[in-house]
Every structure is written in C-alpha cells, then in structure tokens.
Amino acid sequence: MALDTQSQMFIEAMRSAGMLPLRDLGVDGCRRMTEQQASLAKGSEAGSAEDRTTGDPSNVPIRLYRPADVRDPLPVVVYFHGGGWVMGGIESHDDSCRHLSALSGCLVASVDYRLAPEHPFPAAIDDAWAATRWVMDHAGDLGGDPRLVAVAGDSAGGNLAGAVARLARDDDRVLAFQLLIYPVIDRRLDRPSMVRANTDHMIERDDMDWFWRLYDPDGIAAADPRAALTAEGDLSGLPPALVITAEHDPLRDEGEEYGERLQRAGVTVTVHRYPGVFHGFYAMRGLLDAATAAADEAAAALRAAFALAAED
C-alpha cells in the first residue's frame, strides 16, 4: 500500500524544508536536524531521569529512566538509539525512552555511545557492550532486577542491540528479551526493499550507503558479527525477540529476514510489519497513529517477556 496520509504529509514537509535526503545535509546538518526534532518531541509521562556514567574503564554516559509510583526492583531495558551510528543520542530519544519506561514499568538505561565518523566501528558496539555489562553487573544497585534485563534499539541502535544479544550469549550472560525496531542487519544493499527505496522513504539506499561508509570506512565490518548480524550462522540460544519493521523502509526486508533466521534457529520471535509508514516512524508519537501502536506493542512484549523470565 501507499504511504498513509499522516506519513505522506510528514515526508512532504521534510522535503519542503530541505531536510531530505539525509546524505545531502552532511553529518553536521543531520545532527542539527536531530536536535531540532528532539526539541519538538511530545512530553511523556512523569517519572524520574538520572544522568550518570558507567564508571571505569569504559565510562560510557547513560540516562536512567524510572517510572513513577513503581517499586524496586524493576526489570531493566538497555536502550541504544538510532541515527546511522552518526547522529542522535540521549536527548534525541529522551521522549521515546521516557515513554517506554512508563508504559513497560521498567528501568530504562539509554546509552550515549560514541558516534562516527569521529569514532568509527567498533567504537559504538564497544560502548554498547561495555554499558550492557555494567548495567547487568550493577542492576541491583540501580534499583533493577539483575535477572530481568533486556536490550532494545531502533535502526542502528537495533543493530547494536542484536549484536549485544549475541555477545551476551557468548559470554554466558542471560538476557530476557531483545526489542529490534527496524534494525540495520548488515551492509548488503541489494534486498528488494533497499533497491526500491525512493522519495517516498525517509531514508534511501544512498543514505544507507553513506551511513555505512562513515561507520565503517575501511570495510572491515561487513564480515564481523559485531556489525553484520548475518555474519555468523549460529543464532541459537539468543533471547526472544520482537522485530518491528515499516512497509516503506529500505531496511524492511533485512529486518524481516533476520526475524525468520532467528525463528529457524529456535528463537521465539514476533515480526510485525507496520503498513503505510516509513523508517523512523516509532519516534513520531503524537504525529503518527502507528507510532503509538508500536510503542504499546513494544511495552507489552517487554512486560510479557519479563513475566515469563521471572517464572524461570
């Protein structure tokens, strides 16, 4: 189907304002755009937020969100923001993380990993993995339940969440769930949804090529499972997953393919494609009805996964 009316109006407004295609804005322009959009985000439910770092040696900045009127210990979600590994941060995803904390009743730790091109691969995944280990090791001190920890992320952050899930498995650490929102899976740019990406899309194939070249200028990540989630065949033993995709998204096919590969490996997975919307829709709560529905689905999936894990 075509873009729904709300999505079409948003894309047209972005193009009219000269904010698309993203690659034409350059790194600084993309970062300014992200900051401007963050300032317009819908205010979320009351709760508390605390900025801190993970401590030596990684010292990764994080923001902890706690829902109001919920007793400790809380299940924990470690969240990695999107932005092509190039833009975004704690502020750009403040509303989404605050809302996720309120809806799910979880402690959400938003990770401010280093960005490319100043810090190319593997800086982002090094920070993501270091922050996750630290949160898992210190969950009790933070008011969280160390037995109930999940990872989550959107776009490039979904890529980091998927990679961290595998690193945790290989390190004999148990995660309860992985929430992958239109995740980047690998550096292939030849799947049908990627090839067909056009001006109806928030990001285009050439944008993804640009992001990958900034993140991985030397081309070393294409065969590295810390960046390419398809680079390693064994997906067994990974935590249950919800993979959210968008119909008008060049990343749609790779996200759905990854969900199918997880299922074939015996992982419990739900893959849900949202029709009529574009890459990035999840953050558009208040503008797109689908964003509200996706946030509700994500929170419900987390609650269910944590309830199941608590029984074990």
42, 94, 199, 238 from 90: Cα distances, Å: 15, 6, 29, 27
- Are residues 3 and 276 in contact, defined by beta-carbon separation less than 8 angstroms? yes
The reply to whether 236 belongs to the active site is no
- Are residues 44 and 73 in contact, defined by beta-carbon separation less than 8 angstroms? no
Strands 107-111 and 144-154: unpaired
Say how many residues make up the chain.
Answer: 312
Q: How many helices and strands, by DSSP H and E, does the chain display?
A: 9, 8
The reply to whether 279 belongs to the active site is yes
Catalytic residue among 94, 155, 207, 248: 155
Residue 125, CA atoms < 13 Å, CB-side half-sphere: 24
- Are residues 227 and 212 in contact, defined by beta-carbon separation less than 8 angstroms? no
Catalytic residue among 145, 207, 249, 253: 249
DSSP per-residue codes, 283-297: G-TTT-HHHHHHHHH
Residues assigned a catalytic role: 155, 249, 279
